[in-house]
Amino acid sequence: MQNLYDVIVVGAGHAGCEAAAAAANMGSKVLLVTMNMQTIAQMSCNPAMGGIAKGQIVREIDALGGYSGIVSDRSAIQFRMLNRSKGPAMWSPRTQNDRMLFAAEWRKMLEQTPNVDFWQDTVSALLISKDGKRVEGVVTGMGLEFKAKAVVLTNGTFLNGLIHIGEKNFSGGRTGEKAAHGITEQLVKLGFESGRMKTGTPPRLDGRSIDYSKTETQEGDDFIDKFSYLENTSPFIGPNKKKQVPCHITYTNQQVHDILKTGFEKSPMFAGRIQGLGPRYCPSIEDKINRFSERERHQLFIEPEGWDTVEIYLNGFSTSLPEDVQLKALRLIPGLENVKMFRPGYAIEYDYFPPTQLKLSLETQLIDNLYFAGQINGTTGYEEAGCQGLMAGINAHLKIKEKESLILNRYDGYIGVLIDDLVNKGTDEPYRMFTSRSEYRLLLRQDNADIRLTPLSHKLGLASEERMKRVEEKVKNSESIINYFKNNSAEPGDMNPFLESIGSSPINQKVRYHNVLSRPNISIPEMLRYSKGLENALAGYDAETIEQAEILMKYEGYIEREKENALKLKRLEELKIWDNFNYDDVSSISAEAREKLKKIKPGTLGQASRISGINPSDISILMVYMGR
């Protein structure tokens, strides 16, 4: 066994896998330590990837050379583009996945990645330098020491994890798996602040005992897209394409609510046995009933766990009530009258470290070369964890090579928004991403993640020449389409039948295609059906490039406005605050501002401006003090 590594990654969940792959692909020798080699990249909660804003993150991970998009495509059993009825800033890809295939594909890709070694063991402590300022490796449960130049902690829900079902509670990081002890206690002794959070999961059901005739069917999209910008990653595209697996929808009712209420006195959440806050946007079913008592029913999604299993995930029914109450309530739901449970839902409480203790590179402020990623930072969701792992792996490699960290700004991607929010604002409840969290969401669309981020990834050595060429070709072809639309005209005889069919005013003379497209409810695919000349002109372009060109034309004014706003922010980001800046010397700023700035230690005036409690006047004073 090798004893010295460049980077050690602790934990092989979504964050750990991305961290290990990124650092290894950049040339670091990586050790991935996991408690169980059989649960690498386990989907601990729902078997799905993407969704609102999360789909954008998966696309960004893929553009940066991460593996989540490829793995999600290969293991998909259904694909849907959410929010198609809204503007393109809101479009969000989502896959339903085969849980076991997802984990198998991740493990296969990691095993095929040079520079990644594996070790099955717990990590009980970190090796810290004698001066207490730098991490030097890890100590495992077996007493082995592995040395490293950098360590990435991606412990998920395992740090002092406590599982709750009704009045029962027992130590565990996930059902059937033991918790991890020792790391929290050591970090607190080193000066870190820790807290508790909770999350939950629904019961798993036997699909053979469900009457689907009493439920609504939810099919996948007819037009199939995918997460990865690489070709041949989806089982639904190509000559041997598979048929998508449908999901189903059912609803709770007042009888269900009444049964659930009988267990409230034994609920660990209501009885105060759970101290940590749960995710606001994914509440338990008992929390929904309590908070939204006026609602007569709540929607539930019956989600299959894979191609070849009858196991079902009941999305929307997360609970920690006693198992007998869970089963009684389930059997009052339409379609589930005779349902059998594979295992009950449960809540899990675990340690996290408020992310205001990090730098924007995800390196800790207290200990050099130690990085945190995923739920240890207070986030929830595979996608949020995966992107943090990717950035931590990249930056751990760059740090030990004495290179500048990769910091994504808020106008670069949702990944930049997420990390900026965590480090500058912190979180006391599980953080999840939404499109509304970004002020530049029209710039940060799912369709252009490759254009935004692949050039960065290519410079780092993560994106291949093939990827870079595809992006350059997409940009070039998109510009060609836009030029054609701006310089060529539609004939009234071609376009008027179409315009009249949708209730739009006919044209009396030739009109530029660009002007026709700018009308509401008009898209390029529809225009192609009525104009042979246009159809011939675009014959050589793929659907992805045509869609890209259409978005850029239809939203041209809005996009330019957002670019101007992003440019203003960029100017502030370029104003660096030097290391060891003494805020006590600036007596004019408020006491609150001084306290926050000393704690978070922003690297730029832009970062400082986004810290809670910092006013525009404080930034102005700092700008003057620094000599602008």
49-86 pLDDT per residue, tens: 999 999 999 999 999 999 999 999 999 999 999 999 89
The pLDDT assigned to 96 comes to 98
159-173 pLDDT per residue, tens: 999 999 999 999 999
Higher pLDDT, residue 464 or 616: 464
> Distance between CA 588 and CA 625 in Å, rounded?
10
Give the model's confidence band at 239: pLDDT under 50 very low, under 70 low, under 90 confident, else very high: confident
> Distance between CA 562 and CA 87 in Å, rounded?
15
The pLDDT assigned to 521 comes to 86
Specify the domain boundaries for CATH 2.40.30.260 within the chain.
204-344
In the block, which residue shows the tokens 């950049």?
A: 26
- Cβ pair 277, 429 in contact under 8 A: yes
CB within 8 Å of 257: residues ≥ 6 apart = 289
Decide if pLDDT at 276 tops 80. no
The pLDDT assigned to 614 comes to 87
> Distance between CA 240 and CA 227 in Å, rounded?
19
Residue 299 three-state SS: strand
> Distance between CA 119 and CA 132 in Å, rounded?
26
The pLDDT assigned to 270 comes to 78
The pLDDT assigned to 518 comes to 92
Q: What is the CB neighbour count within 10 angstroms for residue 521?
A: 8
The dotted CATH code for 575-625 is 1.10.150.570
Q: What is the DSSP letter of 177?
A: B
How far are the Cα atoms of 83, 234, 411, 512 from residue 549, in angstroms, in the given order?
19, 24, 20, 15
CATH architecture label of 465-559: Orthogonal Bundle (1.10)
The pLDDT assigned to 590 comes to 86
Give the model's confidence band at 625: pLDDT under 50 very low, under 70 low, under 90 confident, else very high: confident
Specify the domain boundaries for CATH 1.10.10.1800 within the chain.
465-559
Q: Taking residues 565-578, report their average pLDDT.
A: 88
- Cβ pair 35, 124 in contact under 8 A: no
The pLDDT assigned to 406 comes to 97
Residue 350 three-state SS: strand
Query: Quick one: how far is CA 453 from the chain centroid?
Result: 16
Higher pLDDT, residue 3 or 106: 106
Decide if pLDDT at 27 tops 80. yes
- Cβ pair 384, 338 in contact under 8 A: no
- With vertex at residue 240, the alpha carbon angle to CA 239 and CA 241, rounded to the nearest 5 degrees, is 95
Decide if pLDDT at 268 tops 90. no
Decide if pLDDT at 1 tops 70. no
Mean of the per-residue pLDDT values of the chain? 94
Decide if pLDDT at 150 tops 90. yes
Residue 185 three-state SS: helix
How far are the Cα atoms of 195, 285, 302, 331, 596 from residue 316, in angstroms, in the given order?
26, 7, 9, 15, 38
573-620 pLDDT per residue, tens: 888 998 888 899 888 888 888 888 988 899 999 999 888 888 888 888
Please report, in angstroms and rounded to a whole number, the separation of the first and last CA atoms in the chain.
Answer: 54
- Relative to beta strand 145-153, strand 4-10 is parallel
- Rounded to 5 degrees, what are φ and ψ at 218? -125, 105
> Distance between CA 438 and CA 418 in Å, rounded?
9
The H or E element containing residue 527 is helix 524-530
| Of residues 212, 237, 243, 215, the one with CA closest to residue 224 | 237
How far are the Cα atoms of 369, 374, 431, 538 from residue 418, in angstroms, in the given order?
21, 11, 9, 38
The pLDDT assigned to 612 comes to 81
Tell me, which fold does domain 204-344 have in CATH? Elongation Factor Tu (Ef-tu); domain 3 (2.40.30)
- Relative to beta strand 216-218, strand 489-490 is unpaired
The pLDDT assigned to 449 comes to 97
- Cβ pair 40, 17 in contact under 8 A: yes
The pLDDT assigned to 106 comes to 98
CB within 8 Å of 273: residues ≥ 6 apart = 164, 169
Instruction: Count the alpha carbons within 13 Å of 511 in the hemisphere toward its beta carbon.
Output: 17
Instruction: Count the alpha carbons within 13 Å of 542 in the hemisphere toward its beta carbon.
Output: 10
Decide if pLDDT at 628 tops 70. no
- With vertex at residue 407, the alpha carbon angle to CA 117 and CA 91, rounded to the nearest 5 degrees, is 95
Q: What is the CB neighbour count within 10 angstroms for residue 383?
A: 29
Locate 36 and state its tokens: 């169980």
The pLDDT assigned to 619 comes to 87
Locate 312 and state its tokens: 């079902």
Q: Which amino acid is at 571?
A: R
Q: Provide, for the chain, the percentages of residues in helix, strand and coil under a 3-state DSSP scheme, each rounded to the nearest 5.
A: 40, 20, 40
The pLDDT assigned to 568 comes to 86
The pLDDT assigned to 9 comes to 98
> Distance between CA 399 and CA 269 in Å, rounded?
42
> Distance between CA 36 and CA 58 in Å, rounded?
25
CATH architecture label of 4-202+350-460: 3-Layer(bba) Sandwich (3.50)
- Rounded to 5 degrees, what are φ and ψ at 291? -80, -30
Decide if pLDDT at 433 tops 70. yes
pTM of the model: 0.93
